[in-house]
Amino acid sequence: MIAVVTGGGSGLGRMIATALLDAGDRVVVAGRTRSSLESVAGADPVVTDVTSAESVAALFDHVRSRYGRLDLLVNNAGVFGPGVPVPSVSEEDWQAVVDTNLTGSFRCARAAFGLMAEQDPRGGRIINNGSVSAQVPRPNAVAYTATKHAITGLTKALALEGRAHDIAVSQIDIGNAATELTAGFAAGTLQADGSLRPEPTMDARHVGELVVHMARLPRSANVQFVTLMATTMPLLGRG
C-alpha cells in the first residue's frame, strides 16, 4: 500500500506513519520541517506546506512519478491557533487556522481524488483527522472548532463523490491522545465552566493502530465516522 500522511513528522502524524510502516506499507510523510520528516525511519520525506497550492501539487506529483499510484491519504496536518477568547482572535490568526486545517485538507483530498480516480486499479481511501472538536468545542478555540466542524462536512461531501471512483472517505475524531500538544493536560485544562481540571490521556499508538485497521478494510466497507478517546475524558459533559 502506498500512503501519504500529512503532518507526518511529529505528534499523531508520526504515530500514524510509523504504524503504517510497521504494517509493511510505503509511506510518504509530508510536513514543513525536513529534519522531523527525515527522523521517521523508513518513510519517504517530502517537505510540504499544505497552505500552498503549489507545494501540495508538488507532493502529489512526487507520489505519481515515484510510485505510480496512491492507496491512502491521511489528512492529519493541522494547527490549533491561539487559545484566546473570540474578541482576541485576529483576522490573521483565524485565516492561518482555516488555511491549514480546512483548505489544506481540501487541497490534499482534491489532489488525491485526481490520482485515485485515474489509476489502475482505481480507487483508494482518505482518512481525515477531525478531532473531537468536530463534535463539541473547547473554550477559547473558535477557529480550531470551526475548521474541525467543517472537516465533517468535507468528509461527507468527499465520501459522496468518492463513490463514483471507488474512493472511501472516513473521519477519525481523536480525543486526548498523548502527544506534545496534550502534555500539559494532567496539570489542568480549561473547562466550559471556567475551572481548570486535569484530563486523562491515552497512548497515541492506538490512533496508528486504528488507522491501519481502517486502511485494510476492503473498499466495499468503510468506517465512516469513529471517535477514539481517552475513556474518562470529559467530552460527553463538555459545554
Active site residues: 144
Sheet containing 124-129: order of strands: 44-47, 26-31, 2-6, 72-75, 124-129, 167-175, 225-229
DSSP string, the chain: -EEEEETTTSHHHHHHHHHHHHTT-EEEEEES-HHHHHTSTT-EEEE--TT-HHHHHHHHHHHHHHHS---EEEE----------GGG--HHHHHHHIIIIIIHHHHHHHHHHHHHHHSSS--EEEEEE--GGGTSPPTT-HHHHHHHHHHHHHHHHHHHHHGGGTEEEEEEEEE-B-SGGGTTGGG-EE-TTS-EE----B-THHHHHHHHHHHTS-TT----EEEEE-TTSTTTT--
Alpha-carbon distance values, 38 to 6, 33, 34, 140, 170 (Å): 14, 9, 6, 34, 28
